[in-house]
Amino acid sequence: MRTDRRTFIQLCAATSGALVLGVDFAEAAEETAKPFEPNAWLRIEPDGRIVMKVGKSEMGQGVRTSLPMILAEELDVAVESIYIEQASPGPSFKGLGTGGSGSIMGQWMRLRPAGAAARAMLVAAAAERWGVSASTLQTSNGAVVDGPTKRRATYAELASDAAKQPVPEKPQLKDRKSYRIVGTSRKRTDGPDIVTGRARYGIDVRVPGMLYAVVARAPQWGSKVESFDATAAKKVSGVRHVLQIPNGVAVVADNTWAAMRGREALRVNWTVSPHASFDSVEHMKALERAIEKPALTIRKDAEGRAAFEKVKKTYEATYSYPFAAHAALEPLNCTVFVGEGKATVWSPTQTPNGVHAAATQVLGLPESAITVNVMLIGGGFGRRLGVDFDREALEIAKLVKGTPVQLVWSREDDMRHGYFQAASVHRLAAGFDDEERLVAWEHRKASTPHNARSVPTKDDKVNPETVRGWAWGVYDMPYFIASAEMSYAVVDAPVPIGPWRAVFSPPSVFARECFIDEIAQETKRDPLKLRLTLLGADDPSVSPIFDVADEHIDRRRLRKVLETVAEKSGWATPVAAGRARGIACNVFHTETYIAYVVEVSLKKAGAMPFRVERVVCALDCGVAVNPLGVAQQVESGVIWSLSNMKSEITVRNGSVQQGFYTDFPVVMIDETPMSIETHIVASDDDRPHGLGEPAVCPFAPAVVNALSRLTGKRIRSLPVKL
Amino acid sequence: MPQRPVTINGKRHVIEADDAMPLLWVLRDLLGMTGTKYGCGAGVCGSCTVLENGRAIRSCQTNFSDTGDKSYTTIEGLSAAGDHPIQKAWLAEDVAQCGYCQPGMILELRSLLRSKASPSSAEIDAALSDHVCRCGSYPRIRKAALLAAKSGGGR
Ligand code: FES
Ligand code: FES
């Protein structure tokens, strides 16, 4: 695979001319050529180059590698022959967002027909040229071939004729059995650029004449600028402007460091914050109070909680989960140039169309006058679905019109002004019959829904459909338990809450999967066996498939991954001295089925008082487009989840207390498990499902379950303190 | 503002900058060499790592006035063709996830292999233990490091 050298970022980097010239040049070049362009995703240039638009943001999940594989498969070309261009929002690209682990599935639906349609048109062009029926022709590696006569025409030769063919509405897609590319392991397209430092992330955008900006933001949420004194800041050498924007005061300078020093010298008076007394310890208590009573029911099976009146025995536990930051290594940033009647934005964004919309609002320009370039992302994890940082950059660039400006958030800015994972408290209850069978289930969750991008209304908070959407991992509990009731209590907080890796799932799955383990312990059953039983392994009357809301869970697939992980990990065999095993599983959005077995041991000291020695993962994600990428996402999810067992975000007096990797420590190489195995379970599901998020959810509970076994003490909150 | 010569990737540059400006920003903003990454500015993440006379240092903690007559290597200068044994090992193991931490990791490893050509797995962990990879590419970093050591990354 090659990256198209014409993508205009590289053009700008390579020329010393004006940025706008770069843009115009790229557009002009496209106009004069007459490529075969059957749809927005693909064009074949007259010189035979196949150019594909990548409609997802690359943040390490490998879309610039896996998505071309899908197109190449249907088009029947070598992946290496595809040039890629990052798609920019515009009339052809109105929905470019990247999130929810939906990239591979969403693009599968688009790129396959796109490739297949182009292939059909190329075949039709060859058939016309040779006067034969299209059905007698085949394609092979970028050419149409006529078997009997051995005639052959390359796609390049056929491109201009193909352009005259009608676009088939329902092109014939390849049968799964004939895949040659999908399902093979492929290394990352961007690898060579990454190891040589050529890869350009948002923060690496360099445009001639650009300035650099940092923003002084309110130390407490809800404060506004009352006044500021820029005298000292302006004396810092290199500082050019000190400007008030809606979110604070921007210092614009010749370089990032001067801007940061200017901000240190700046004096800002802030209005009193309405949230100046907010404290996360008090907030946790409010969450605990909120689950004392059931709140809004989001799922009820059979008798619901009323079933607890008839049970022989009830077992209960309360779990809590902290606020957590994204802490991606590339701090938030955005570069904007506002010219006369037009503007260009370079953003490491997960929501290009969101940035486009924000730019039209802030600049008052039509969408057609604004180009948004989607840059490589140095870690996204959901944070870059927000456009708060883009908006700040746009506000600043509007005030320094004619000069490109790059806004950079410092590490501390990035951590303190995050859109966090919400803290939550969970109360779970299990009811048993005379034979100690689990017959009643209750899961109450109290938390704060997303409020950073839009604040939920009063109506939202009492609408079970909306509220259910905030309770992933609670309402889609996969086990069969005769009566069950799940509820969610909204507890508002001034802390900005936004999508975090696996969104609402990790806390809910943590509580649920640890509680299942407690039940196994309480009733002296093997936690694997209990899960299999609850998934209907011994009881044909348990429906293998069930629907909850609009999701469709197949218990057999979850059983299969559990059985696989048990076998591969040697679950039934004794574990080494000083270690214990733990198990947990989950179905993410009814699409990716995943289970872990881990082995842990105790450590004497350190921020993490234990060590994960071995991780075995089994998963069913339907079609694994790039198995290498699948295994990498598992490793990444494991380490993310492990970090979450080590650190938390706390708030005192309305301010986040952490600012660096020292006080919000993430897992380092010497804490990484020595062995992480991934086993992909073959599946009849002929669609590919995501893994960036699913790999996160059941890992922490598997570790906690192992630790509880090792220490004899149940752990019910994160970060882990032994 | 003082002008100073500084040698980067074998090339001598004369740069005008504040004495206290960290080398990180000299590289990134004054020279436009963006391979060296900003991750924390506080010496804790390692993403700004460069080689100073062959030894890994954190460029965010190195003042411009201290660069003196030393010679620096950034990721752009590790090899002319991107084929240093460490770079090759990195590609062979397909290490990168987002890739943002990787220039720092690679140069730290280069520094380790220079003083210790065949480190153990534990020594690799120790040498890289103050480098953040938020994406968690560590398992593959370990593999690539061992492979690089075997294939002459210390030369
Ligand atoms: S940027 Fe220098 S150590 Fe983080
Ligand atoms: S690969 Fe993303 S931070 Fe290391």
Per-residue pLDDT tens digits for A458-512:
999 999 999 999 999 999 999 999 999 999 999 999 999 999 999 999 999 999 9
Same domain membership, residue B43 and residue B108: no
CA of A639 to the centre of ligand 2 (A): 12
Q: How far apart are CA B132 and CA B125, in angstroms?
A: 12
Q: Is the Cβ of B9 closer than 8 Å to some Cβ of chain A? A: no
* Whether the Cβ atoms of residue A416 and residue A424 lie closer than 8 Å to each other: no
Residue where a domain terminates, one of B27, B54, B78: B78
Same domain membership, residue A423 and residue A401: no
User: Looking at the predicted structure, is the pLDDT value of residue B76 above 90?
Assistant: yes
Same domain membership, residue A488 and residue A443: yes
- Arithmetic mean of pLDDT over chain A: 93
Residues 76 through 115 of chain B touching chain A, CB cutoff 8 Å:
76, 78-79, 82, 87, 90-91, 94-103, 106
Same domain membership, residue B65 and residue B29: yes
Same domain membership, residue B126 and residue B97: yes
The values of phi and psi at residue A676, to 5°, are -130, 110
Report cis status (omega within 30 of 0) of the bond before A496.
no
Q: How far apart are CA A556 and CA A587, in angstroms?
A: 11
Same domain membership, residue A464 and residue A317: yes
Same domain membership, residue B68 and residue B106: no
Give the CA radius of gyration of chain A. 27
Q: How far apart are CA A444 and CA A421, in angstroms?
A: 18
Number of CB atoms found within 10 A of residue B123's CB: 14
User: Looking at the predicted structure, is the pLDDT value of residue A101 above 60?
Assistant: yes
Residue of A nearest to B29 (CA): A255
Q: Is the Cβ of A268 closer than 8 Å to some Cβ of chain B? A: no
User: Residue B146: which CATH number?
Assistant: 1.10.150.120
Same domain membership, residue A308 and residue A234: no
User: Residue A383: which CATH number?
Assistant: 3.30.365.10
Query: Count of domains in chain A?
Result: 3
Structural domain includes residue B58: yes
Residue where a domain terminates, one of A417, A439, A472: A417
Q: How far apart are CA A279 and CA A303, in angstroms?
A: 39
Same domain membership, residue A474 and residue A615: yes
User: Looking at the predicted structure, is the pLDDT value of residue A12 above 80?
Assistant: no
Same domain membership, residue B66 and residue B35: yes
- What's residue A22's pLDDT? 26
Cβ separation A672–B136 shorter than 8 A: yes
Of the candidates A249, A169, A244, A255, the one whose C-alpha atom is nearest the C-alpha of residue A212 is: A255
Closest ligand to Cα B39? 1
Residue where a domain terminates, one of B33, B62, B78: B78
Name the residue range of residue A140's domain.
33-191
- Residue A692 in contact with ligand 2 by CB distance below 6 A: no
User: Residue B22: which CATH number?
Assistant: 3.10.20.30
Question: pLDDT digit string (tens) for B88-107?
Answer: 999 999 999 999 999 999 99
Which helix (DSSP H) or strand (DSSP E) does residue A243 occupy?
Answer: strand A239-245
Cβ separation B136–A640 shorter than 8 A: yes
Q: How far apart are CA A667 and CA A70, in angstroms?
A: 34
Same domain membership, residue A457 and residue A603: yes
The values of phi and psi at residue A201, to 5°, are -90, 170
- Cα-based angle A465, A470, A475 (whole degrees, multiple of 5): 70
Among A196, A197, A670, select the one facing B126 at the smallest CB separation: A670
Cβ separation B38–A197 shorter than 8 A: no
- Residue B124 in contact with ligand 2 by CB distance below 6 A: no
Question: pLDDT digit string (tens) for A390-430?
Answer: 999 999 999 999 999 999 999 999 999 999 999 999 999 99
The two three-digit tokens of residue A521, written as one number: 């312990």
Same domain membership, residue A234 and residue A111: no
Number of CB atoms found within 10 A of residue B80's CB: 11
Which helix (DSSP H) or strand (DSSP E) does residue A313 occupy?
Answer: strand A313-321
Return the exposure string of A565-592: e unless at least 16 CB atoms fall within 10 Å of the residue's CB, then b.
bbeebebeeebeeebbbbbbbbbbbbbb
Atom of ligand 2 nearest to the CA of A379: 2
Question: pLDDT digit string (tens) for A25-68?
Answer: 333 344 444 788 888 899 998 888 999 999 999 999 999 999 99
Structural domain includes residue A97: yes
Residue where a domain terminates, one of B52, B78, B104: B78
- What's residue A176's pLDDT? 93
Same domain membership, residue A346 and residue A476: no
Query: Count of domains in chain B?
Result: 2
Same domain membership, residue A682 and residue A596: yes
Q: How far apart are CA A690 and CA A197, in angstroms?
A: 29
Cβ separation B25–A257 shorter than 8 A: yes
- Cα-based angle A163, A96, A67 (whole degrees, multiple of 5): 65
Same domain membership, residue B24 and residue B44: yes
**Average pLDDT value for residue range A595-599:** 98
Same domain membership, residue B62 and residue B15: yes
Name the residue range of residue B116's domain.
85-150
Structural domain includes residue B155: no
Same domain membership, residue A401 and residue A469: no
Residue where a domain terminates, one of A191, A224, A253: A191
**Sign of the CA dihedral running A644, A650, A655, A661:** negative
Residue where a domain terminates, one of A129, A157, A191: A191
Which helix (DSSP H) or strand (DSSP E) does residue A66 occupy?
Answer: helix A63-75
User: Looking at the predicted structure, is the pLDDT value of residue A248 above 80?
Assistant: yes
Structural domain includes residue A721: no
Same domain membership, residue A108 and residue A127: yes
Cβ separation B32–A200 shorter than 8 A: no
Chain A residues lying within 8 Å of B130, measured CB to CB:
668
* Whether the Cβ atoms of residue A409 and residue A384 lie closer than 8 Å to each other: no
pTM of the model: 0.94
- What's residue A39's pLDDT? 87
* Whether the Cβ atoms of residue A48 and residue A83 lie closer than 8 Å to each other: no
The two three-digit tokens of residue B104, written as one number: 């720092």
